Chain A
Amino acid sequence: MKKKILIIEDNPMIVKSLEFKLTKDGYQVVVAQDGRKALKILETDAFQLVITDLMLPFINGIELIEHIKNNIPELPVIVLSTSKQEEIIMDAFKMGVNDFITKPFSPNELSLRVKRTIENN
């Protein structure tokens, strides 16, 4: 059975590319454009990985990660963000994020990190 990945990202171009790349890699990809939709999807469906931006409409990435770590602690999370501030990156790791990738990013590198994170979990 295909491993399921939830992508939470509001940039349609990034969504399209990630969806394309990860589907080619053999994953089943579900997309949510904002934090609120992501929470709804997470309530009804099980995933092997979440890839999320930090700047999201309605519920921001940090709140979303907090929710995931409180309710589904075993679910690994990769952050994909434009933020290069050390503080934000440190905070994300303290919250239990598994990886942090800054934009602009290399889709091939992201694909490898996705594979490694899923395998490690």
Chain B
Amino acid sequence: MNSLEHIVNDWPWILKLNALFIVLFLVFIIMVICSLVYLRIYKNQRERHKISYQENADEFLNNYMFNDDFDIKNEIETFKSKHLNTPLKKKITLRQILIYNENFKGESSVLIKKVFQELELDQFVFNILKKGSWYAKARAIYVLSELLVKEPRLVSPYLNAKHEEVREQAIYYFLKTATNNPLSFFKNLKTELTLWELVYIEDSIKYAYTGETPDFSIWLDHHLITIRIFSIKMIQQFNQFENIPKIIPFLYHENPHVRKETIRALYKLHYEALLEKVIPSFKDEEEVVKSEIIKAIQALGRIDQLKELKSLISNQDKRTELTYLQVEKNFMIN
């Protein structure tokens, strides 16, 4: 007490200030250490709880799928009241359901989708979809896709969401849940698709979708240019020869990228009359289209047709010149 008095009375102000800062600093350090210890303990406890929730969910799900003596009706009510009374418990059960769904097929896969609804976790996901942040919404749509929950009206608005991740999940939802006409969501799109979205749709149609191949020509009149281009490309990739007459008018479309894709599709589909339609307009074409016409000559034409174009290529148009030289070389080799 005396020493404190001595400090207050006798020390110069600069020393007093120093002492004050030392004390404040020590208090601050002690608080930081206490917070870290508290956070560690809290995290450990939370992890323990998570493991216990996960074990409860596993036990319930395994009994639901494999135990014939399981009193499903009562057990579901008990599980809902005891083990689904907090959002964390619901999220962990949901995660376990997704893991089981991913690893199982057949009857167990059907049951796991059924229990998701019986536990009313679908309502939990719908609420996230309505009120959650954008990343939670993206995850919610993913859950609906994986568990094949048919609620297209709920997901449809997210096809035009601001965040790309949400849009991609919405596209995935429609592709994953489709049994036929997997591109029906195109009618709800309002903004052009990004390159990644187009690649994603193409891959999903080729490798994930198992239904009947759609008729891509129905999207040729879509108001979005990216969808028209995509449809032309798919007509070619799926060899829909019957749609050739429908894409020919796009050789005269105002957008050069549409014209380019049409030329590419037609020569890959071996449309013999293509060259007589595109060579006359070569001189006035855009660079991007000129290169494609030259490639079309390589696929369907002769070297003399190619040489006729040489004088029509400007010295500044390096891209077309390079394509010309490559195609000319290929003609020489063959």
Chain A residues within CB distance 8 Å of chain B: 11, 13-14, 16-17, 20-21, 24, 103-109
Q: What separation, in Å, do the CA atoms of A14 and B96 have in the docked complex?
A: 11
Also in contact, A106 and B104, with CB within 8 A (given A13-B58, A13-B96, A16-B58): yes
Chain A CB within 8 A of B100 CB? yes
Q: What separation, in Å, do the CA atoms of A21 and B61 have in the docked complex?
A: 12
Which of A14, A24, A103 is in CB contact (< 8 Å) with B66? A24
Q: What separation, in Å, do the CA atoms of A21 and B58 have in the docked complex?
A: 13
Which of B58, B63, B65, B67 is in CB contact (< 8 Å) with A107? B65
Per-residue A-contact encoding for B94-122, CB less than 8 Å = 1, 0 else: 00100110111111110000000000000
Which of B67, B100, B106 is in CB contact (< 8 Å) with A109? B106
Which of A20, A24, A107 is in CB contact (< 8 Å) with B104? A107
Nearest-neighbour CB distance to chain A for B173, whole angstroms, equals 20
Interchain pairs with CB closer than 8 A, number: 47
Q: Across the interface, which residues of B come within 8 angstroms of A16, CB to CB?
A: 58, 62
Interface centre among B58, B67, B104, B107 (most CB of A within 10 A): B104
Chain B residue nearest in CB terms to A104: B105
Chain A residue nearest in CB terms to B58: A16
Please determine whether B103 and A21 come into contact, CB atoms closer than 8 angstroms. no
Chain B residues within CB distance 8 Å of chain A: 58, 62-63, 65-67, 96, 99-100, 102-109
Also in contact, A108 and B107, with CB within 8 A (given A13-B96, A13-B100, A20-B66): yes
Nearest-neighbour CB distance to chain A for B40, whole angstroms, equals 25
Which of A11, A13, A24, A107 is in CB contact (< 8 Å) with B108? A107
Please determine whether B96 and A105 come into contact, CB atoms closer than 8 angstroms. no
Please determine whether A17 and B105 come into contact, CB atoms closer than 8 angstroms. no
Please determine whether A13 and B103 come into contact, CB atoms closer than 8 angstroms. yes
Q: Across the interface, which residues of B come within 8 angstroms of A105, CB to CB?
A: 103-106
Q: Across the interface, which residues of A come within 8 angstroms of B58, CB to CB?
A: 13, 16
Chain A residue nearest in CB terms to B105: A104
Please determine whether B62 and A108 come into contact, CB atoms closer than 8 angstroms. no
Which of B65, B96, B104 is in CB contact (< 8 Å) with A104? B104
Q: Across the interface, which residues of B come within 8 angstroms of A107, CB to CB?
A: 65-66, 104, 106, 108
Which of B96, B100, B102, B106 is in CB contact (< 8 Å) with A108? B106
Q: Across the interface, which residues of A come within 8 angstroms of B104, CB to CB?
A: 17, 104-107
Nearest-neighbour CB distance to chain A for B299, whole angstroms, equals 34
Chosen A-B contacts, 10 in total, with CB atoms closer than 8 Å, are A17-B65, A17-B104, A20-B67, A21-B62, A24-B67, A104-B105, A104-B109, A105-B105, A107-B106, A109-B106
Nearest-neighbour CB distance to chain A for B66, whole angstroms, equals 5
Chain B residue nearest in CB terms to A21: B66
Q: What separation, in Å, do the CA atoms of A113 and B99 have in the docked complex?
A: 23
Known: A21-B62, A104-B104, A105-B104. 11 other contacts (CB 8 A): A13-B103, A14-B103, A17-B62, A24-B66, A103-B103, A106-B106, A106-B107, A106-B109, A107-B108, A108-B107, A109-B106
